[in-house]
Structure 1
Amino acid sequence: MLGILDWGIGGISIYKLIKERRPEVSLVYFSDTGVTPYGKMSRVELVSRLNAVIGFLGSKGVTHLVIGCNAASTAIPFIDPQGLKIEGVIDPAVEMTARLKPERLGLIGGRRTVVSGVYRRAFAQRGIAVKQRIAQPLSGLIESGDVSSPKLRQEAGHILRPLRNCSHVLLACTHYPAIANILSDLVSAETKFIDPASGVLNATSKWKIGSHGPDVLITTGDAEAMKRSADRAFGVKIGKVLKVNRIE
């Protein structure tokens, strides 16, 4: 069974694409909003939490896992896969971006993702310079279901101003595709945004995963808030969400 792990609803963008392209695949989606945001945890805390969640998902029958969170993906080299096949979002994002041969590459992401330098190093190895901007407020606003408020537009405008003339801008947070229409209005008409979701799909396309019954959606946070935000941000209508308080 295929699992998708994210702190919040950002990974729903990947969930949506997989359901469109591989509808036969059964999915377990795990949202961890009941704990501190992954981007604010120390590395030790993050690795410990991810290991606990991976163990929990393995006990639910997950054999293949997409970590649909850039902050969490920075910790993949340090986690224990516990027998699961794991793919993050960073490597697929770098590969699909490099294939586009961007002339002037920009990137927006959360603080942990940008400060880690993981994208800068990966692109430098391919001879690509990248101009990065921390876009921390955006994911929180989108997580709350806000995809169009004046505050969101103001924050996005401030973040993107130095990148407005980039040929490409990589969306290094899975929340950001939810506001792609707003972001497009804030850059030049020639700027193209890169959504890593299709890169993740390509990277996992050879995984042999079949149907094991209906999808299961789990959260450690507010189940009703998750359903509302997934609908507002990505147009995905979620049915029942299982709330869990402990995963040990």
Structure 2
Amino acid sequence: MIGIFDSGYGGLSVQKAVMQLMPNTPIVYFADHQYCPYGRKSKEELIERAFFIVDALIEQGAQLIIVACNTATAAAIDTLREKYDIPFVGMEPAIKPAALASTSKKVGVLATEGTFSGKLFKQTKEKFAQGVEVIIQEGVGLVELVEKGLMGTYKAHQVLYPIIAKMKAHRVDHLVLGCTHYPFLKDDIQKMLGDKVRLIDPSPAVAQQAQRLYQKDESKPEIKKYYRFITSGLKVKEYRRNILQLLQLDEENTLFMYE
């Protein structure tokens, strides 16, 4: 089983990519709604939550875990790899493909404060964005839009307008979605930017890396449910309804739990 976690529904954008690439692989997903959003949490808080969630995912049978959150990856993935003897796949801002493909040599990155202040983002930017202007913008309020299911609404337009206006003013030709929640706003963002700006979603690359690292343990008993979903802070009924809608699943081969 593959384990995936995020502060809320954002990591489902990664799960979608994993399901497409590995359709027969069982997945257990943990949405840490009690502590959502992660963007402004301290490194110490995020590491503590990561330990709690990873223990829960391993207990469910996870043999590989995707930290489907850029902020949590920046804060905790090195510590997780030191503590646990299983593979971890983290999120990395997709600056490299954006920088390589850019003709204007101006690319934008939308992410959280925790991602921008992390070592991984700075290293990636320094390594792959030489000669490219990188315009960064914190996506204030975007996580909350997705958590409330407000994609495609007037409220989404109000929140997105000042954020996207900065990217348009700088004439970026690529925009990196540096938070797993943001792909759910892809249609709204694309309409505002226009067709000439390409959006970069790292989820498919993360799924490919998970596929490379994942090895099914044939000694483990067969798992009865393909997909398990755990929440730390929502009523299971609400969680079930939103998961089924966002992933376009039916309830067959799914199990919903509260941790």
| Fold agreement, TM-score > 0.5 | yes
Query: Which of residues 225, 242, 248 is equivalent to 2:257?
Result: 242
**More divergent stretch after superposition (198-207 vs 233-242):** 233-242
1:5 match: 5
Q: Deviations over 1:89-122 (max 9, x none)?
A: 116x345445535621101112222233642431
2:51 match: 51
Q: How far apart are 1:86 and its partner, in Å?
A: 0.3
Structure 2: tracts of 5 or more residues without a match: 217-221
SS of the equivalent of 2:212 reads: coil
Query: Which of residues 107, 112, 122 is equivalent to 2:109?
Result: 107
Q: Deviations over 1:115-149 (max 9, x none)?
A: 33642431222214311101120111111111122
2:141 match: 137
1:169 match: 175
Contact 2:102–2:173 under 8 Å retained in 1: no
Q: How far apart are 1:57 and its partner, in Å?
A: 1.6
Specify the code of the residue in structure 2 equivalent to 1:146.
L
Among all aligned residue pairs of Structure 1 and Structure 2, give the percentage whose two residues are the same amino acid: 23
**More divergent stretch after superposition (5-14 vs 203-212):** 203-212
Change (3 A) 1:95 1:202: farther
Establish whether residue 200 from structure 1 lines up as the match of residue 212 from structure 2: no
Contact 1:14–1:68 under 8 Å retained in 2: yes
Query: Which of residues 88, 91, 100 is equivalent to 1:89?
Result: 91
Contact 1:89–1:196 under 8 Å retained in 2: yes
Specify the code of the residue in structure 2 equivalent to 1:122.
T
Change (3 A) 1:167 1:234: farther
Once residues 20 and 124 of structure 1 are traced to their aligned partners in structure 2, the CA distance between those partners, rounded to angstroms, is 32
SS of the equivalent of 1:241 reads: strand
Structure 1: tracts of 5 or more residues without a match: none
Q: TM-score, normalised by structure 2?
A: 0.85
SS of the equivalent of 2:117 reads: helix
Query: Which of residues 238, 248, 252 is equivalent to 1:225?
Result: 238
1:215 match: 227
Specify the code of the residue in structure 2 equivalent to 1:45.
E
Contact 2:110–2:136 under 8 Å retained in 1: yes
Q: How many residues get paired?
A: 243
Specify the code of the residue in structure 2 equivalent to 1:104.
K
1:178 match: 184
**More divergent stretch after superposition (113-122 vs 133-142):** 113-122
1:78 match: 79
Query: Which of residues 158, 161, 164 is equivalent to 1:154?
Result: 158
2:197 match: 191
Change (3 A) 1:117 1:236: farther
Specify the code of the residue in structure 1 equivalent to 2:12.
I
Contact 1:62–1:84 under 8 Å retained in 2: no
Change (3 A) 1:82 1:142: same
Once residues 87 and 100 of structure 2 are traced to their aligned partners in structure 1, the CA distance between those partners, rounded to angstroms, is 25
Once residues 232 and 59 of structure 1 are traced to their aligned partners in structure 2, the CA distance between those partners, rounded to angstroms, is 27
Q: How far apart are 1:5 and its partner, in Å?
A: 0.9
2:219 match: none
Q: Deviations over 1:135-187 (max 9, x none)?
A: 12011111111112212111111101111221100001111111211101111
Specify the code of the residue in structure 1 equivalent to 2:34.
G
Once residues 109 and 7 of structure 2 are traced to their aligned partners in structure 1, the CA distance between those partners, rounded to angstroms, is 21
1:65 match: 65
Once residues 23 and 224 of structure 1 are traced to their aligned partners in structure 2, the CA distance between those partners, rounded to angstroms, is 25
**More divergent stretch after superposition (225-234 vs 182-191):** 225-234
**More divergent stretch after superposition (4-13 vs 222-231):** 222-231
Q: How far apart are 1:227 and its partner, in Å?
A: 3.1
**More divergent stretch after superposition (112-121 vs 168-177):** 112-121
1:123 match: 125
RMSD, aligned CA? 2.2
